[in-house]
Amino acid sequence: MRVLELMFASAATLALAMGFAIVPAPSASAQTKLTMGKVIGGDGFHIPTYVALDQDFFKAEGLDATLVELPASSMVSAVISGNLDCAPIPSGGAQAALSGAKIMYIVGESLKSQWTVTTRQDISKPADLKGKTLGLGRPGGADYDEAQAVLHRFYQMDSGRDYKVISFQGEPERIAAMINNDIVGASLSIPHAVVAEKAGLKILLRTGDYIPRAGGTVWCMQSLVEQHPDTAKKIIRAIAKAVMYFRTNKEGSIKVMEHHIGSIKSDEEAALIWDQLHDSFGAEVPPDLFRELLESRRLTMIAARQWPQDKPLPDPEQFLARAMLDSTLKEMNYIPATIAPPTKSN
């Protein structure tokens, strides 16, 4: 399909531009090399990945892990081309899977939507956004889709008709644009929204109050999972340990967030973020959330004329190593997450 061809072309360009060497398939030996993508500047959805690295959970599993910072779209292409082993970009992975890429999701991270619509102080309610300009991410990204979904489903507001959108690659740039009065609001993840509040902005709404989401779910190429199941299990265990660590270890988690999330400037900011997010993660991947992840991407592809409107969603479970994930979590006595359902309804 054309979408998949573009992904491969992008990956080839990326490899040449950044000097990447193709990463060989991991061996089963101790200290297996592992490369995983990291979004530029870090974000809240991928905190368990950061914890697993800094607290040596990857190392304890025999994984010599490296996080490689890339834009989300480039990260997807890099895994497909073999320049990275895994990526925590579930929406991009969903589009790749539906476009024919042989990928496999292996472990979850965030089980709650962490995006906000953050605005200037003069915006008191979502209706005040009518006729105004918002700063979102790229079309098709979670920082674009989720804000639009909440405004559409719960406030009957649509981009283009009710408000304008400017796409920004980075969240710090959206904060600066609000401070400069170039836009009135923006889609920000919780860590960046906390920083924005310190700069005099306000959180208008939290998407997690409206919609659940399997965010940051880690996927690799199907060949890696099938040919090196021990490596895939090690990744699952490391992430699961990190999830349980983050739930209860505030002090250690603060240091990890300060290390990996560029917008955090103080222990106070990191502590506020931990207070809001420590119970938002789970290594498990609930079937309903996983299906919603794929279905949301299918609808986006229909709108972009990349998927036939009358073609149903294939069985999502074919893209998830469900048996491996569930059995590995059971073997390690992992404690499942307890996530409160969204508080808003339409």
What pLDDT digit, counting tens, does each position of 149-185 carry? 899 889 999 989 999 999 987 888 899 999 999 999 9
pLDDT digits (tens, 9 = 90+) for 39-54: 888 888 999 999 999 9
Lowest-pLDDT range of 118-132, 136-150, 232-246, 255-269 = 136-150
CA pair distance 169, 325, nearest whole angstrom: 32
* Residue type present at position 190: I
CATH superfamily of 115-210: Periplasmic binding protein-like II (3.40.190.10)
Name the residue ranges covered by the structural domains of the chain: 2-112+213-331, 115-210
* Nearest one of 129, 115, 114 to 183, comparing CA atoms: 129
Q: At what angle do helices 47-54 and 229-248 cross, to 10 degrees?
A: 100
* Nearest one of 136, 180, 176 to 159, comparing CA atoms: 136
Check whether domain 2-112+213-331 has CATH 3.40.190.10, yes or no = yes
Kindly tell me if the per-residue pLDDT of 27 is higher than 50: no
Euclidean distance between the first and the last CA atom of the chain, given in angstroms as a whole number: 37
pTM of the model: 0.82
- Identical fold for domains 2-112+213-331 and 115-210, yes or no, is yes
Q: Could you tell me the two tokens for 237?
A: 């265990």
Please name the residues in contact with 270: beta carbons below 8 A apart, sequence gap of 6 or more.
Answer: 253, 254, 255, 257, 258, 264
